[in-house]
Amino acid sequence: MTTDLSKFTGITIALHSCYDAEGNIAPETYKTLCRHYDSLGIHGLYVCGSTGEGLLMNTKERKIVLESVMEAVGDRMTVIAHIGSLATRDSIELARHAEEMKVDAISSLPCLYYPATDEAVEAHWNAIIDSVDLPFIIYNIPGTTHYTLTPELCGRMAANNHVIGVKNSSMSSYDINRFKRIGGDNFIVFNGPDEQYLAGRMSGAVGGIGGSYGAIPELLLKIEDYIQQKEYEKAQQVQNAINEIIEKMYATESFIAAAKEIISRRVTPVGTPRMPILQLSEESQRLIDGIIRYIDNAIENL
């Protein structure tokens, strides 16, 4: 399989969920949000991942989300469909739907809930990969899955020409460097932790996929522009501001709820997260006021 890897560089937003007042999928809101990101020059979207609450949706809902995204921007932005599920057969169903939608790639978490050994994770991923003819991106996020991608499994997966890279969300830029060295020149690695975007890029990541990006896309575009210009001190200043914002968001009951509230105020109402994700208290709502002021100031002055 030959894949144009250049389409996966730069800023890829981990797309947040869009619900109506009753908590149902809101297709038109998804379209509005995606078109907004496209107008800013965002390169790609990662759909129904952790940030997008994909695991809190059923397969029908996830298909509706992807269809909405593809209708809105599928011909202008790189779209990666996260199809990870508790059951491998559900992931395969979603992968086949993603292929019908002509996405640029699919991605998946390892096995969930049941003990995940290298053998089980490898079988899970390979069953998905063998079901379609799409590029596949490993999703390594040990903080939530309690499974850490090993160098041995990374090497075996990278030998499959359908596996083009890793979305690495472990809190170590060394892992990015290691997975890149294992995979080689034609293997891409995305930085996952937003707090280390600059460090990740310096360690070999081609770009990033992040959960804060949707709330502060302008700042992610700024830091990437400074990296391209080799203005690393300016890039560090933007990273410092991003980290301040992230820390303020984590001071609320829920990072995801905080990000969605910021998006709702800055772009379009996207609803609140589904349970068991916590909602924001009145005190946290007031904190969002200050966070948005900080964001606006950073965009204007950095």
What is the DSSP annotation of 164-218? EEEEE-SS-HHHHHHHHHHH-TT-EEEE--GGGHHHHHHTT-SEEEESSTTT-HH
For 7-216, CATH gives: 3.20.20.70
CA-CA distance, 171 to 185, in Å (whole number)?
23
Of the residues 167, 180, 222, 260, only one is catalytic, namely 167
CA-CA distance, 149 to 170, in Å (whole number)?
9
Which pLDDT score is estimated for 112? Answer: 87
Which pLDDT score is estimated for 172? Answer: 87
CA-CA distance, 125 to 113, in Å (whole number)?
16
Three-class secondary structure of residue 146 per DSSP: coil
Task: Say how many CA atoms lie within 13 Å of 181 toward its Cβ.
Answer: 9
Instruction: Supply the pTM of this predicted model.
Output: 0.97
The per-residue pLDDT string of the chain (302 residues; one tens digit each, 9 = 90 and over) reads 778 889 999 999 999 999 999 999 999 999 999 999 999 999 999 999 999 999 999 999 999 999 999 999 999 999 999 999 999 999 999 999 999 999 999 999 998 888 889 999 999 999 999 999 999 999 999 999 999 999 999 999 999 999 999 999 998 899 999 999 999 999 999 999 999 999 999 999 999 999 999 999 999 999 999 999 999 999 999 999 999 999 999 999 999 999 999 999 999 999 999 999 999 999 999 999 999 999 999 999 99
From the list 50, 82, 53, the residue with the least C-alpha distance to 66 is 82
- pLDDT tens digit string along 23-34? 999 999 999 999
CA-CA distance, 180 to 188, in Å (whole number)?
7
Over the range 46-80, which residues count as b (16 or more CB within 10 Å of their CB) and which as e? bbbbbbbbbbebebebbbbbbbbbbebbbeebbbb
Of the residues 19, 46, 139, 213, only one is catalytic, namely 139
Which pLDDT score is estimated for 113? Answer: 86
From the list 237, 196, 271, 189, the residue with the least C-alpha distance to 21 is 271
Whether 60 is catalytic = no
Three-class secondary structure of residue 111 per DSSP: coil
Whether 19 is catalytic = no
Strand 105-108 relative to strand 188-191: parallel, antiparallel, unpaired? Answer: unpaired
Number of residues that make up the chain: 302
